[in-house]
Amino acid sequence: MPDGVWRIGDRATFEALRRSSARARAGPLSVAHVPPAPGERRRRVAYAVGRPVGSAVVRNRARRRLRAVMAELARSGRLPAGAYLVSARPGVAQLPFEELVATLGDLVERASAAQAGTR
Protein backbone atom coordinates (compact mmCIF):
# COMPACT_ATOMS: atom_id res chain seq x y z
CA MET A 1 0.00 0.00 0.00
CA PRO A 2 1.23 3.55 -0.66
CA ASP A 3 3.23 5.18 2.11
CA GLY A 4 2.52 2.35 4.51
CA VAL A 5 -1.17 3.24 4.86
CA TRP A 6 -3.30 0.11 4.60
CA ARG A 7 -7.06 -0.38 4.42
CA ILE A 8 -9.04 -1.97 7.21
CA GLY A 9 -11.00 -4.96 6.00
CA ASP A 10 -11.65 -7.18 8.99
CA ARG A 11 -14.75 -6.91 11.13
CA ALA A 12 -12.85 -7.33 14.40
CA THR A 13 -10.93 -4.09 13.81
CA PHE A 14 -14.13 -2.20 13.01
CA GLU A 15 -15.68 -3.51 16.22
CA ALA A 16 -12.60 -2.48 18.19
CA LEU A 17 -12.77 1.01 16.65
CA ARG A 18 -16.45 1.26 17.52
CA ARG A 19 -15.73 0.38 21.16
CA SER A 20 -12.59 2.52 21.40
CA SER A 21 -12.64 5.43 23.81
CA ALA A 22 -9.62 6.98 22.09
CA ARG A 23 -11.43 9.57 19.99
CA ALA A 24 -10.88 13.15 18.99
CA ARG A 25 -13.24 15.51 17.19
CA ALA A 26 -12.90 18.94 15.63
CA GLY A 27 -15.25 20.65 13.20
CA PRO A 28 -16.55 18.18 10.61
CA LEU A 29 -13.93 15.52 11.39
CA SER A 30 -13.44 12.87 14.04
CA VAL A 31 -10.82 10.16 14.50
CA ALA A 32 -11.03 6.93 16.50
CA HIS A 33 -7.84 4.97 17.24
CA VAL A 34 -6.96 1.42 18.26
CA PRO A 35 -3.33 0.66 19.12
CA PRO A 36 -1.43 -1.91 17.07
CA ALA A 37 -1.04 -5.50 18.15
CA PRO A 38 2.39 -6.35 19.62
CA GLY A 39 4.92 -6.37 16.80
CA GLU A 40 2.51 -4.71 14.34
CA ARG A 41 3.92 -1.65 12.58
CA ARG A 42 1.25 -1.01 9.96
CA ARG A 43 -0.99 2.04 9.87
CA ARG A 44 -4.49 1.01 8.85
CA VAL A 45 -7.24 3.49 8.06
CA ALA A 46 -10.95 3.36 7.24
CA TYR A 47 -13.09 6.31 6.19
CA ALA A 48 -16.74 7.03 6.99
CA VAL A 49 -18.20 9.67 4.70
CA GLY A 50 -21.99 9.53 4.83
CA ARG A 51 -24.73 10.89 2.59
CA PRO A 52 -25.22 14.10 4.57
CA VAL A 53 -21.77 15.21 3.29
CA GLY A 54 -23.18 15.53 -0.23
CA SER A 55 -23.70 13.73 -3.51
CA ALA A 56 -21.66 10.67 -4.46
CA VAL A 57 -19.23 12.88 -6.36
CA VAL A 58 -18.69 15.12 -3.32
CA ARG A 59 -18.33 12.14 -0.95
CA ASN A 60 -15.80 10.42 -3.22
CA ARG A 61 -13.78 13.63 -3.59
CA ALA A 62 -13.81 14.09 0.19
CA ARG A 63 -12.66 10.48 0.68
CA ARG A 64 -9.81 10.92 -1.83
CA ARG A 65 -8.69 14.11 -0.08
CA LEU A 66 -8.78 12.40 3.32
CA ARG A 67 -6.69 9.51 1.94
CA ALA A 68 -4.17 12.02 0.58
CA VAL A 69 -3.96 13.75 3.97
CA MET A 70 -3.39 10.47 5.83
CA ALA A 71 -0.69 9.49 3.30
CA GLU A 72 0.96 12.88 3.88
CA LEU A 73 0.85 12.35 7.65
CA ALA A 74 2.39 8.89 7.21
CA ARG A 75 5.18 10.27 4.97
CA SER A 76 5.99 12.96 7.51
CA GLY A 77 6.06 10.48 10.40
CA ARG A 78 3.01 11.98 12.11
CA LEU A 79 0.84 8.85 11.83
CA PRO A 80 1.71 6.26 14.49
CA ALA A 81 1.04 2.57 13.93
CA GLY A 82 -2.45 1.32 14.67
CA ALA A 83 -5.95 1.41 13.24
CA TYR A 84 -7.84 4.63 12.60
CA LEU A 85 -11.41 5.45 11.64
CA VAL A 86 -11.71 8.91 10.07
CA SER A 87 -15.32 10.14 10.06
CA ALA A 88 -16.45 13.15 8.05
CA ARG A 89 -19.58 15.24 8.43
CA PRO A 90 -21.07 18.01 6.28
CA GLY A 91 -18.61 20.85 5.73
CA VAL A 92 -15.56 18.67 5.16
CA ALA A 93 -15.70 19.25 1.38
CA GLN A 94 -15.27 23.00 1.84
CA LEU A 95 -12.11 22.80 3.98
CA PRO A 96 -8.86 23.80 2.27
CA PHE A 97 -6.27 21.02 1.99
CA GLU A 98 -3.84 22.74 4.39
CA GLU A 99 -6.57 22.98 7.02
CA LEU A 100 -7.41 19.29 6.52
CA VAL A 101 -3.75 18.36 7.08
CA ALA A 102 -3.51 20.50 10.23
CA THR A 103 -6.84 19.32 11.66
CA LEU A 104 -6.32 15.62 10.96
CA GLY A 105 -2.74 15.79 12.24
CA ASP A 106 -4.02 17.25 15.51
CA LEU A 107 -6.86 14.72 15.77
CA VAL A 108 -4.52 11.77 15.15
CA GLU A 109 -2.16 13.08 17.82
CA ARG A 110 -4.98 13.57 20.34
CA ALA A 111 -6.59 10.17 19.66
CA SER A 112 -3.22 8.39 19.90
CA ALA A 113 -2.39 10.19 23.13
CA ALA A 114 -5.82 9.33 24.57
CA GLN A 115 -5.21 5.67 23.80
CA ALA A 116 -1.75 5.77 25.34
CA GLY A 117 -3.23 7.32 28.48
CA THR A 118 -5.75 4.51 28.92
CA ARG A 119 -3.20 1.67 28.98
Quickly state the pLDDT bin for 115 (edges 50, 70, 90): low
Residue 116 pLDDT: 65
Q: What is the mean pLDDT of residues 46-75?
A: 96
Gap between the terminal Cα atoms of the chain: 29
Residue 62 pLDDT: 97
Residue 11 CA from chain centroid, whole number: 17
Rounded-to-integer distance, Cα 13 and Cα 31, Å: 14
Name 44's bridge partners. 6, 83
Q: Give the predicted TM-score (pTM) of the model.
A: 0.91
pLDDT at 101 exceeding the cut of 80 = yes
CATH fold for the domain made of 2-118? Ribosomal Protein S5; domain 2 (3.30.230)
Residue 2 pLDDT: 44
Mean model confidence pLDDT for the chain: 92
